[in-house]
Chains A and B, each alone.
Chain A
Amino acid sequence: MDILITGVLLGATYSLIAMGLTLQYGVARIMNLANGEMLVAGAFGAFWVFTTQKLSPFTSVAFVAPGAFVLNWLIYRFLLRPLVRRAKNRGMLEVDSILATFGMAFAFVGIMLLVFGGEYFTYSYLDEPVAIFGSPFGLNRVVACLVSVALCGLLYLGLNATRTGMALRAVAVDPAAAGLVAIDVPRMSTFAFALGGAVTAVGGIVLSTFLTMDASIGIVFTMKALIIVIMGGVGDVRGAIIASLILGLAETAVASLIDPGLTLAAAYLLFLLVLLFRPEGLFGRRQS
């Protein structure tokens, strides 16, 4: 039961970071390997607000979200659009964007090491137990879960109930056909990439309330987001949420039943199994 609840709490938080990558990969078609660095930058924002301004880490959303949005907008507009333009097909764009963002990830790590230093950073926020079904859980984890669920719900609603959301999904399904219904595809892709970056950075704020991070830990979260997005099916929001819960549960189960050191190994094992048996995602269809 404890495993179940801890797993769900963790998984819900993961779904927020996966949502960021889903927008970037599913709509803008950029497999962004620098995704985790954006998350760490967001976490730094929360850390800074909490330690120097003595404010709730969640107040950092006010500048982290718009900041990440603008930064990702610029990255897409000036670094990635040329790749999109010259790509002859989707596979070529995928390879190019993986290489470009992989390099970008190293650059970000370097910049963050320079700006924030190499130490681990952690802070104690709402670190008090709260009882769920008789067992104690960290209040910070519960709050993180609730915030994630609320944000994911908001995104889901936005994607399904607004015209812009519908246009984003249309671009995800078929960019060429989206152009034929007067959707400005390059602009929508830029918007999706920027929004995805903002969501990821906010995910970093949420995670920082209960995880210890350092400047170079981003890659771990990139991999987790990647696992979830592949498992859930590219561009499939519902799939991503379920996959996040599965990953959260699997990590928690392995950590508490076998050994905490094997958490990452469990995640990769899951990834391998998905790639071997359901490469199109849990609910995905094979390309026809």
Chain B
Amino acid sequence: MLECRNLSVSYGHHRALDNIAVHIAPGEIVVILGANGAGKSTLLQAIAGLVPASDGGQILLDGKSIKNLPPHLIVEAGLALVPEGRRIFGDLTVLENLVLGAYAERARPTEKDNLGRALTLFPRLAERRRQIARTMSGGEQQMVAIGRAMMSAPSILMLDEPSLGLSPILCTELFKALAEIRKTGAGILLVEQNARQGLAIADRGYLLENGRIVGEGSAVSLAGDPAVQKAYLGGVAGGTGRAWPLTPTKPSIAT
């Protein structure tokens, strides 16, 4: 269970996040929708300890405060981030990337099981375990990044725009994998540009605008909300919540 209360982040005088309250339960997929610059990435980075959170707010993981701990202790507490741009270790092999994912003390006892699970989830990685990670395609690198995060046996997994730059087919595969990961009991916090696919897989969603939460609700109700459709789903008239065409509105770059 991850819970943020009154979470604020400032870059100098600019308030990037203002009194954010979000929570994610185990086994739940929560999506955060928002335009570029709304503060989505900042939110994930603040939770992961990469940017400092302002005084006053709280970030609790299973009841314990993880606010402003160094990143490695936050992973140790059970929270993993798949960062924007993947940030895999390009010069290392796929297998080394995955094994490093289990560097946390908490992940050592179950390392073998988690490796098996990651390689079952992404069979491509099993085939290419000796390959230098940077020489792989964008989609495969994303698999490495997600597999690496899974290796730390997180209770909450956060993903920052995992579908960015992936072809529609790879996107679909990626979201299938997230549904599989949810079955392990981990909660998933997802930041997505691809609002349609994000809402399709999520249980709940938050709308983030100029650093504030301006709406929240179940994924179905958000998808059916005309204002959400207008802002994030390309204004497709829907109504039932499932009537939109399956092609993404934003052009994807196949890799």
Q: Which residues of A contact B (CB under 8 A)?
A: 163, 166-167, 169-170, 172-174, 176-186
Contact = CB atoms under 8 A, between A and B. Distances in A.
Given A176-B87, A180-B50, 19 more contacts: A163-B103, A166-B92, A169-B89, A169-B92, A173-B91, A173-B92, A174-B89, A176-B71, A177-B87, A177-B89, A178-B89, A179-B49, A179-B71, A180-B71, A180-B149, A181-B103, A182-B75, A183-B103, A184-B70
Interface residues of B, number: 30
B100 interface: yes
Interface of B: 48-50, 70-73, 75-76, 80-81, 83, 87-92, 96, 99-101, 103-105, 107, 148-149, 151-152
Contacts of A170: 89, 92, 100
Given A180-B48, A181-B103, A182-B103, A169 B72 contact: no
Contact of B50 (A173, A176, A183): A176
A179 B101 CA distance: 10
A180 B80 contact: yes
B72 A185 contact: yes
A177 B70 CA distance: 13
A166 B72 contact: no
Contacts of B72: 179, 182-185
A185 B75 CA distance: 13
A173 B89 CA distance: 6
A109 B107 CA distance: 47
Contact of B87 (A172, A174, A184): A174
A119 B50 CA distance: 52
Contacts of A186: 70
A197 to B, nearest CB: 24
A184 B70 CA distance: 8
B70 A180 contact: no
Contacts of A172: 91
B152 A181 contact: yes
Contacts of A182: 72-73, 75-76, 103-105, 107, 152
A166 B99 contact: yes
A170 B100 CA distance: 8
B103 A167 contact: yes
Contact of A181 (B50, B75, B90): B75
